[in-house]
Structure 1
Amino acid sequence: MTSLKSTRKLRALVAGFAATTALAPAAGFAQEAVTQTFVHLATGVPAVLYEPAEKGPKSGVAIMLMHSGGDYLSHVGCTELSQRGYSVLCANNSTSKTGRNSDLDIYQAISEVGKGVDYLRGHEGIEKVVLMGHSGGSGLFSAYQNIAENGVAACQTDALLIKCEGDKVAGLDPADGVMWLDPNYGMSVMALFSLDAGVADEATGMISDPALDPYNPDNGYKADGTTTYPPEFVERFQKAVGARSTRIIETLQHRLELIEAGHGLFADDEPFYVPGGMFVGFNNKLFSEDMSLLGRTAKPWPLIHPDGSVETMIVPTDRVARGSHMRTDEYIDGTMKSTVKRYLGAFAIRTTEDFAYGADFITGVDWHSSITTPIGNAEGITVPMLSMGMTAGWEYISAEMIYEHAASEDKSIAFVEGATHVYTPCAPCEETPGEFGDTVKTLFDHVDGWLGAQGRFL
């Protein structure tokens, strides 16, 4: 439990930044009776509409949830928000939900978000629509909102590795607000972070350099959860990741030229796989093992404690090491499987020679080269925005980065102490049982307060 002690020490070190506001614990809410209605938005695009049985002022505000590749028909946000009086549409796009197949067509998925927004706009009693992006949903929804607010020009810039086909995403209806509740850095950035830096031959996962293996004890890995990688290894690993990513992009661009010239393996697209490139889970991410990496915010922000008090401070992580192993030699769980166009559209992003990440920063990433980065998309989004991070998750600093890039004049940020990426209390992170309280309630009480603030949507 050394990492837990280190976290508490970090809290003490940053206490000088803190300004504490004593607040009463969040008031309990009377759970609304909720009805559920199946909705068929399009072929392969199912949804469930959660509505309070008795309509009130909040029910005119509809929240939409969808993930880039996950099954969100029964996400915790569906029940928590509908029980607080809101209408909630929880939908799936048409991608595979196994997590092992990366068949995401980002622009098709964006158009399917539009089906949900259109449905809500036409549903009786709905006056406002707010998108709730969790994890990979933040990349999908931020891309949707950026294009909806700024037109197809937003996905046809020269900075993008591949431009959209305008007819797929033309005429999208912007939502009235957006919420990023433990967003990730974007599907493309998560794929970048997940690359095995040591792959020597892109045709096979059987050859990888042990000197670049993050699970090799010789490189600083400790199976007991106390890993702190030597700075030399971190720098060498990150440089190798950036270099491999650049090589992959160059290969993709060459294949795209051949396809467009009629000399590809197929006329429309062709298969593409990346050994040691699966971005689901903890594969090859240094910060899933070393808590000093991406382990605190760069600036002081509101941290919501279990008792409801809010402390403005540099927010340290509460997460613990995940413990994993190299999966590069596995096709099913270790290899990213996509196509040339789909990988360029959703999973590739440019880096520069200074690509690196440390305790509270990421450098050398071209946020505008991928449409799936909420950090880049936030610069084109102007509607009211709420950005929240869960301190026991390993993506929580993205909430700060999105907030800093957001063009919205009405924008808010907060962090929930001890909450995991799926919003539940992190039991392995606790020093005492129940230390973090009911983090799901803490989160959605805060969301309710933001959504229900007079003059924003009501």
Structure 2
Amino acid sequence: MRLRHALIAPLLACAMAMPALAQDGGALKRSYIRLGREANAVLVEPATPGPNGHIVAINVHPDNLNTFEYFIGRKLGERGYRTIEINFYGKETTFEVFLDPIAAAIRYARKLPGVDKVILVGHSGGGPELTFYQEVAEKGPSACQQANRISKCGGKGLENLPKADAMLVLEANIGAPHRLQGLDPAIVGNKPAPRNPALDAYAAQNGFDPKTGTARYSAAFQQRYEAGLHRRSEAVIAEAKARVAALDAGKGLFRDDEPFVVVGTATSSLGPRLNLQDGSILSETHGTHLNLKADGSRPVEIVKSVRKPGAPALDQRNTMEDTVMDTTVRHYLSFSAITTTPAFAMTRNDIKGVDWSSSANSAAGSVRNITVPTLVMAGSCTIHMIPLEIVFDQSAAADKEFVVVDGGNHEFGPCRPEFGDSQKRAFDYVESWLAKRFPVAG
């Protein structure tokens, strides 16, 4: 889908708040905002404005997710911030379609009384969506038209997008690199069976224990698996690119796009991800970072994952709902495709052999062009900690920080009782980080 900027722009200009939709025990109110033909939002803010109200956060999530009750707005609202939660309900053909609604939300936020700072807060799939926006806002359309980009943006209407003042990447999955890890190299002929036994992560002979759902893979198997994953990923990308080339030449099945089905893959934390089963893979940071512990201490250390390894239920493996991507060729190239090299590998503390900037849907690639203050935060009880450390490493911001919440899950809640109120620790730190950079005037 092309951005219909000329049609949407008049609607963006008249974005307006409607009467409050709901109250959270009297503490928060929500006001409707119209962002255009295919997007709307709610402004979540304290019923009684406080000193932190000079900052507005922008939050969004792909996959047509309804964000109106998203926990980001609630948790920031409890601390006195305002949050604009965006819903995009158009066709997500390419990553570019998200840019206009985010720009409209920022323009709206800048006009709110008393507001002097607008920040982007990307959680889960919203992390790469918002880093992509800020990348294009800071660098212009050339940022998404570089030679190595698998799916280049059209660029029309993307000049002079309003920039945010800070970037918060909170427990995000980092986009196409995350999806890459869920692609099953044991799939043969794009069918669920029979599988290639030499690359089967669920086979006992390769180190998997079906009784516990855990594994201890040998170095030899892991090398075979990663080489197979690289080959299959590149083959799927090549097929999708060939079909797009045929479409562009007027020789495709349709004029605009084509169905594209990929068996043995997952956009969520499913699929045969080696690090789900084998706790030694992507298990600790490669640098020392602040670790927010339940006892109140904040050591700067190599942070080890506290996630208990285990595969998703094996009965999900051959279900269409959980392990088949039913999409289009253009969507796949824009959302899921990322270039790897034969050196692709997942070690104890790193991911190698990935061209991070070859996809728009790659937080690790987008942050290379982002210079505003950046906070990257991960929970140590999820599979995102090491990928998010890579985002921190790749960031071009002079003011950047990577912080881990000990025992935090995907929403920073405690994965086990001994980790205490890990979500409070996370958002207390966010508040202190913002206060240092954007203090209340006067």
Q: TM-score, normalising length from structure 1?
A: 0.86
Match of 1:15 in 2: none
The number of residues matched between the two structures is 414
Shift in Å, 1:169: 3.2
**Is the contact made by 1:61 and 1:457 (CA closer than 8 Å) also made in structure 2?**
no
CA drift of 1:125 comes to: 2.5
Q: Is the 8 A contact 1:284 1:326 kept in 2?
A: no
> 180, 185, 189: which is aligned to 1:192?
180
By how many angstroms is 1:282 displaced? 1.7
The alignment status of 1:385 with 2:374, answered yes or no, reads: yes
Letter matched to residue 146 of structure 2: T
Q: 1:211 and 2:198 equivalent?
A: yes
Letter in 2 for 1:346: F
Q: Deviations over 1:390-433 (max 9, x none)?
A: 00011111221111111111112211000001211002xxxxxx
Partner of 2:295, secondary structure, is coil
Cα deviation for residue 174 of structure 1 reads 1.0
Post-superposition Cα deviations, 1:323-343, rounded to whole Å, max 9, x if no partner, equal: 322756433321112211111
Q: What is the aligned counterpart of 1:111 among 100, 103, 108?
A: 100
Change (3 A) 1:199 1:326: farther
User: Does structure 2 retain, via aligned residues, the 8 Å contact 1:191–1:279?
Assistant: yes
- Residues 283 and 326 of structure 1 are in contact (CA less than 8 Å); yes or no, is this contact kept in structure 2? no
Alpha-carbon shift at residue 225 of structure 1 (Å):
4.8
RMSD, matched Cα: 1.9
Partner of residue 408 from structure 1, selected from 374, 377, 397: 397
Instruction: Verify: 1:449 aligned to 2:406, yes or no.
Output: no
**Aligned with 2:302 (options 300, 314, 322):** 314
| Secondary structure class of the residue paired with 1:184 | coil
Question: SS of the residue aligned with 2:215?
Answer: coil
Alpha-carbon distance between aligned partners in 2 of 1:275 and 1:457, rounded to the nearest angstrom: 52
Deviates more, 1:338-347 or 1:206-215: 206-215
Residue range with higher mean Cα deviation, 69-78 or 360-369: 69-78
What's 1:23 paired with? none
Return the TM-score normalized by structure 2: 0.89
State how far apart, in whole Å, the 2-side matches of 1:424 and 1:143 are.
27
Deviation at 1:380, TM superposition (A): 0.3
Listed as ranges, the gaps of 5+ residues in structure 2 are 1-24
Q: 1:263, CA displacement in angstroms? A: 0.1
Q: Distance in 2 between matches of 1:32 and 1:457?
A: 24
Matched residue SS, 2:303: strand
Q: Answer whether contact 2:93 2:330 (CA < 8 A) is retained.
A: no
Q: Give the distance between the partners of 1:94 and 1:50, measured in 2 at CA.
A: 19
User: Which whole-Å CA distance do the structure 2 matches of 1:339 and 1:272 have between them?
Assistant: 4
Partner of 1:81: 76
Which SS does the other structure have where 2:419 is aligned? coil
Q: Deviations over 1:340-377 (max 9, x none)?
A: 11111111011101001111011110112111111111
1:430 is matched with none
| Higher RCO structure (Cα 8 Å, ≥6 apart) | 1
Instruction: Between 171-180 and 225-234, report the one with greater CA deviation.
Output: 225-234
Matched, 1:171 2:166: no
Query: What is the CA–CA distance in structure 2 between the aligned matches of 1:128 and 1:346, rounded to whole Å?
Result: 30
C-alpha distance in structure 1 between counterparts of 2:301 and 2:67, whole Å: 33
1:233 counterpart letter in structure 2 = F
Aligned with 1:246 (options 234, 239, 250): 234
Determine if the alignment matches structure 1 residue 236 to structure 2 residue 219.
Answer: no
Distance in 2 (CA, whole Å) between partners of 1:81 and 1:185 is 22
Q: Which residues in structure 2 correspond to 1:50-69 (within 5 Å)? A: 50-69=44-63
Output the CA distance in 2 between the equivalents of 1:456 and 1:228: 49
Q: 1:160 aligns with which of 146, 149, 158?
A: 149
Match of 1:356 among 330, 345, 364: 345
Say yes or no: does 1:90 pair with 2:77.
no
Q: Flag the 1:286–1:454 CA change in 2: closer, same or farther, 3 A.
A: closer
Assess if the C-alpha contact under 8 Å between 2:278 and 2:310 holds in 1. no
Q: Please tell me whether residue 35 in structure 1 is matched to residue 29 in structure 2.
A: yes
- 8 Å contact from structure 1 (residues 93, 113) kept in 2: no
